[in-house]
A and B are shown apart, each in its own frame.
Chain A
């Protein structure tokens, strides 16, 4: 027989003005199993808690009901009192007679009647409670970082500095993201390679960092402290230990295809060293274009390689990694300006993107740093069109943040090297935060070669061909259509989340916003929150930012991981999970597809399912769906729920009748 103590908290002046407490005490005393009912002025106060602990011991209670405020406020407080008094903390039930009764029901009799039912429900329920023990599991403090751009690399190095094992997953054959492809970088006009190369060198030579190139995350199971990450690595077909990136194979390759590192500017071979200065400096075979995958037995690269580094037999590799946290640093992609036909991108030869200009300006790029029109001539007049897609609710509603500044950078660079005679910037308001970018702007003021022209609205220009030149047309602030002739137009397309972010979001169980960024968890005080415990977002993956913002984001995400996952600390797993009665389970696995955490696994011989208690979070949707009553849910069992419902409806709780498990179908 149970020994239940019921403690009715008056919550100072809060409970008992409407409720008739004497009547509540009296009816509660008649409930099955109740051996003690006490009113307490303030149960959550120091005295109240001590009193409760003493009562449990003195009265030999095995179960406790507290009638008072919402369990949200003090359920955990009272559970620890039970624990200190030698009872299992789950032998408690809280009846919320404050928020859900005293405070909302005005009629004294009705309120008292409702409170009686709430307490009766709690008493009936607690009779079915069972002691539950939490388990402690070790956490992994290893970290998976996705994306090896500025943000991902900063994160990896920060983590490795504290001796964390880092797996840096990059889908490209090289590290560094976009920045190593630029010539110089705002705001200080430093050389991009000078900024990035030392950092990337440190990365590639760090013992604690495993760089997984040409890899993608295919699956993420588990939770903070206990993730299992499945990686798929595509073959490079080149042995990284043997290759030096000398390029002998490249020269031998007979295939020519457009070069995605230099869009519209150059061709590459089917085997290639991505771009000059790339790190790591290694060749890679592209099976989409290599003749061997078109059914021909070409071995040109293999034969040309002085180091026997080519490995046609290499295969894709799947690898499982245990990690405690994940940092998403997948960066951005520029949107395709072809989406807005009025700009003529793709149709008019000398309409290019800012990224293409970066490649032209790069001294080791395809034009050796010279700005050239498609016909090979030097443009006299360059036009920079800002906000191509950005700040337009019909396209990308956000400001891409860096375009105005990189345009100033371009102006300084092309004027310094005399690449053009004249430049005009078509903008809809310049976004130049910070002192250094204001300096960049001021240094151009009064320069007769540079003109800033204001458009009436973002994303409102169009470009037409006119007598061998390009006419940039747009409505000005008064709505009058204006037209300027230029020889080359450089578009600043909106930044959007990296291609593949939506698929990655599905795998990581995150959400992306409308423009593909992982920006849904961000708050005013937290730019690295991804919306899921143990997963963080850094750099442009969270939204447009500059190099400094990306680096800071990487460090911030790493800082969060360092403070949240400490070596040697364990993770306490709540015991409220599902379980299976194998004698009843038919193995139909209806539950398997419903589990949001992949915690249910199907087994054969005999067919049945098993619940992984580490992954299970206790939501109970499996138990609700089980057609044979084999799946049960700790602390929210069918018997506990039914007892509470019956008692609240005024039905006498049928004591020992158990509606758990088999009795439901045996019914």
Chain B
């Protein structure tokens, strides 16, 4: 489900079935590498779009968690934990963070739930048909991460 009023109506009627939130982690940079930041954001939204389509009835796609690339890890993580706490306490047993920013991979241990990190592919240079195939290929690997997560217990949050 998406961040729209019609999907929220559906959610409110079927809450007990929707136990998973997906949050994009999107870096911002208007100083050095604008294009790099944009391509990370663009690629992760393509992936999330697909995930949402597959799992519309169980997964809620939240607006992105954005940050300047210059923001320190401690501060980002602290903010992220607040988001996590808020959505976990209010109905989402599973929270999946999706990003193309490799920095998160290095602090994965400190992320409260599942991190899916995928390097951004330069889709703009590809023939659209081929790009679609690549995405389909990626999805084949990513979707099981989500269904596997559903087989496991929700991740414990300390305190």
Whether A associates with B in a native complex is no
